[in-house]
């Protein structure tokens, strides 16, 4: 799962391709880096020294220069493979076809303002020596410090990402509300153990910054679980693969439908690319206030449906993940 990578394979006789939206950017990868050892634990604890290192690591220049990993990994690392339950596993980077857009909005800059401008942001981390980016969103929580994103934005191929920070309201290398370092990152048991695409949900608890908790500074969005399908929803993110560059806050909106092939996920017309992974999907979204109920996150695409995004269904496992995070 990489880039907005795509998974190709045969399932019940149907040739299908899936693009995992792992929006990663890359600097140099150390030569001869050892393969990560599998780790099936659902929580990664991050010591204080590593938190400070993460804040220091993500300079404005590094944030601006983070690019989708798929632009650099093809031909050097070849095909990336990630195990999934009940789904094919070969993943390839993708170049979306932008020729077909769906009403009412399949990908455009958000100019509406409101709460979402401060609660949503970019996620930056290191993976196997590479710098990478995803998207995420601050949510209401008991600890006032919880961020929801995609599972592959916290852990991939059995390895937890390092140097993990959340930058709400990101733009042009700037962090108007600061760089919030994770004290722990979490994912669902199914994603952690086998990278099951149906449970591609991650969370982070971030440390206070200048003595203040995250949602006291940027606010938080509510959540909804077990909502059913066929909802009108809004999706947001910071896509960084062409034609986007990670500097613009993009949204899609429309009525969703249930995936009819390899997952039980929501689907929506959307042309966002790598970097959008982990960005929030809202039900009951109010354009006037920029607030809604977070009900999914950007996760993957199919090769043959390049203008349709999919996000995991927020059921009991997503709710348990949220409870574990907000109770930390």
Is residue 177 included in any domain, yes or no?
A: yes
Q: How many domains does the chain have?
A: 1
Question: Taking the model in full, what pTM does it have?
Answer: 0.82
Is residue 35 included in any domain, yes or no?
A: no
Contact of 239 with 76, CB cutoff 8 Å: no
Hey, what are 57's tokens? 């690591």
Is residue 1 included in any domain, yes or no?
A: no
149-166 pLDDT, tens digit per residue, is 999 999 998 899 999 999
Is residue 33 included in any domain, yes or no?
A: no
93-110 pLDDT, tens digit per residue, is 222 222 233 435 677 889
Is residue 300 included in any domain, yes or no?
A: yes
Is residue 97 included in any domain, yes or no?
A: yes
Residue range 81-96: mean pLDDT, rounded: 29
Contact of 319 with 225, CB cutoff 8 Å: yes
Is residue 102 included in any domain, yes or no?
A: yes
The pLDDT score that the predictor gives to residue 235 is 97
CATH number at 321 reads: 2.40.10.120
Is residue 168 included in any domain, yes or no?
A: yes
| Residue in the block written with tokens 């604890």 | 45
| Residue in the block written with tokens 């439908």 | 257
**Domain of 98, in residue numbers:** 6-26+41-326
The pLDDT score that the predictor gives to residue 157 is 86
Q: Which residues of 136-171 are buried (b: 16+ CB within 10 A; e: fewer)?
A: bbbbebebbbbbbbbbbbbbbbbebbbbbbbbbbbb
Q: Which residues of 36-69 are buried (b: 16+ CB within 10 A; e: fewer)?
A: eeeeeebbbebeeebbeebbebbeeeebeebbbb
């Amino acid at each position: 799962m990489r880039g907005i990578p795509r998974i190709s394979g045969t399932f019940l006789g149907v040739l299908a391709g899936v693009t995992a939206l792992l929006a990663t950017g890359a600097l140099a990868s150390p030569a001869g880096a050892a393969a990560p050892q599998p780790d099936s634990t659902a929580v990664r604890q991050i010591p204080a020294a590593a938190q400070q290192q993460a804040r220091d690591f993500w300079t404005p220049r590094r944030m601006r220069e983070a690019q989708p990993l798929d632009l650099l990994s093809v031909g050097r690392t070849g095909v990336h493979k990630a195990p999934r339950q009940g789904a094919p596993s070969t993943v390839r980077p993708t170049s979306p076809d932008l020729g077909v857009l769906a009403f009412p909005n399949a990908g455009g800059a958000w100019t509406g303002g409101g709460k979402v401008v401060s609660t949503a942001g970019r996620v930056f981390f290191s993976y196997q020596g590479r710098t990478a980016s995803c998207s995420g969103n601050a949510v209401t929580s008991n600890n006032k410090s919880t961020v929801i994103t995609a599972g592959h934005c916290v852990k991939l191929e059995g390895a937890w990402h390092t140097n993990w920070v959340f930058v709400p309201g990101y733009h042009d290398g700037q962090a108007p509300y600061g760089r919030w370092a994770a004290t722990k990152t979490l994912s669902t048991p199914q994603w952690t153990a086998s990278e099951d695409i149906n449970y591609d949900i991650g969370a982070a608890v971030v440390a206070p910054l200048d003595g203040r908790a995250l949602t006291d500074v940027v606010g938080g969005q509510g959540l909804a679980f077990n909502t059913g399908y066929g909802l009108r929803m809004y999706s947001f993110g910071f896509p960084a693969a062409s034609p986007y560059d990670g500097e613009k806050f993009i949204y899609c909106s429309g009525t969703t439908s249930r995936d009819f092939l390899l997952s039980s996920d929501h689907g929506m017309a959307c042309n966002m690319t790598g970097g959008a992974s982990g960005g929030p999907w809202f039900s009951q979204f109010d354009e006037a206030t920029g607030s809604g109920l977070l009900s999914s996150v950007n996760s993957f695409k199919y090769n043959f449906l390049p203008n349709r995004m999919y996000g995991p269904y927020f059921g009991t496992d997503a709710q348990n993940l949220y409870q574990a995070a907000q109770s930390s």
